[in-house]
Amino acid sequence: MEKQVVDGLREVFQSGRSRPLQYRKQQLRALHRLITEHQADIEQALKQDLNRNTYNTSLFELISIENDIKLAESDMADWAAPQPVKKNLNSALDDVYIKPEPLGVVLIIGTWNYPWAMILQPLVGAIAAGNAAVLKPSELSENSARLMKELLPLYLDKEMYQVVTGGVSETQELLKQRFDHILYTGSSVVGKLVMEAAAHHLTPVTLELGGKSPCYIDKNCDIAVACRRITWGKFANCGQTCIAPDYILCEPNLQDRIVEEIQKTLLEFYQKDPKSSPDYCRIINTRHFDRVLALMNECTIALGGESDRSQCYIAPTVLADVLPYFKIMQEEIFGPLLPIVTVNGLSEAIHFINAREKPLALYVFSSDKTVIKRMLAETTSGGVTVNDVLMHYTVNTLPFGGVGNSGMGRYHGRHTFDQLSHHRACLIKSFAMESLNDARYPPLTAARLRKAKFFMQHRLCSCNGMCVWAAITTILAIGLLVALIVVTAKMLF
């Protein structure tokens, strides 16, 4: 079944259907209509999957998708246009440029925590780049997956874009097929399996994997504002966000103040009972509920800790005096637990971060520019936000992606287009002025090598036509000079 799907998409792609930009724009507009005309259905599916309300669905998924569609539609012609590059004297008269081309058939494997954004945002870039695509939504967000499979063929060209649903076996079967690119969002464990399967066909991959994203709170900052922003980013979607702050690093004398400010913010956001708050989501299923709950076993609960397995509910929870060897510090939490690890200042915080896998996101709160500069200069991460959390994700002109164990490749906006395009090197030469090529033809001599070196090492600016004309003038002058020397020599001798 999966082989037939992929082979069918490849046949239509190779017919050239998606080459015209107008076709791609039509598909993007159709995708936008799907979002706007079925927003209520999407919201209902996410209510069933994650207990997420209408406003959070728009804020965390639909607005970003719409923004990417609008950006791609308006800028696609520029993205797809040949990109001139700098020339040397040897290529001064040639057309030299990079031409973005569609890769072919791409596979997009989404995840369950943001089941629409993690599929449709990459799809926007795949469409803009002119690719066909197979979409594999997570089976854990089953209502969203079912709705996506139902709606997509009603709006998009079903001979170019198809949804495949199912569980592990269907995903494994898909990964046996040859794709031209695979974009996967999920855990590092599964990411390694995806990369292993892709290697069989030498298929390039983009892996968005997550990890433990640290959040350092410096003593020189507005603690109240910092905790308000951290509380929002950590407990949104019940902590099930790949770039949520995973743990807090701070000096010991700040810990109690941080707990106090988070407590105030939780009361403001979710009132006295988060369980009854329409803004507080649920864990996706009981398996993940049990995993998250078990992470608290060694910890001291400073706030929260309540749970209800029948509803997959875990209260927003802050854990104090967490030690580095605790189980909760050995894996990504992906739930509403916020450990606080104390460190003795900035240098120890930097050492703590660098001693672990490179995170997908890094957060630092400080009013001290020296602290910010050191944290940026002495650590690495997929992305970084200073004095806020999550917000770098919302800027679709910034690349979103991991580094090391948190992933590879990047997407969002033009970065998705570039990631899912082949950047073809093009040089178009005429048959004129063949004598200039003598320097590279046998029999080679020292004089010819000097001439070749001169023409190859002198670079021209591709964006200024005067440079090319200057090169032509130089070439002609050299030719005339050589001819004059030859004529003069003949006259004299």
Q: Are 305 and 339 in contact (CB under 8 A)?
A: no
Residue from 406, 417, 413 nearest 383 by CA: 406
Amino acid identity of 410? Answer: R
CA distance 284 to 305: 18
CA distance 357 to 468: 49
CA atoms 73, 77, 80, 86: torsion sign:
negative
Full DSSP string of 29-96: HHHHHHHHHTHHHHHHHHHHHH---HHHHIIIIIHHHHHHHHHHHHHHHHHHS-EE--EEGGGTTSEE
CA distance 94 to 443: 25
**What backbone phi and psi angles, to 5 degrees, belong to 319?**
-115, 125
Residue from 359, 350, 363 nearest 389 by CA: 363
Amino acid identity of 301? Answer: I
Q: How far is CA 42 from the centre of its chain?
A: 23
Residue from 261, 268, 332, 320 nearest 295 by CA: 332
Q: Are 108 and 129 in contact (CB under 8 A)?
A: no
Residue from 184, 201, 89, 80 nearest 138 by CA: 184
Residue from 232, 285, 222 nearest 258 by CA: 222
CA atoms 29, 31, 37, 40: torsion sign:
negative
Q: Which residues are marked as active site?
A: 208, 242
Helices (runs of H) and strands (runs of E) counted in the chain: 17, 20
Q: Are strands 95-102 and 421-428 parallel, antiparallel or unpaired?
A: antiparallel
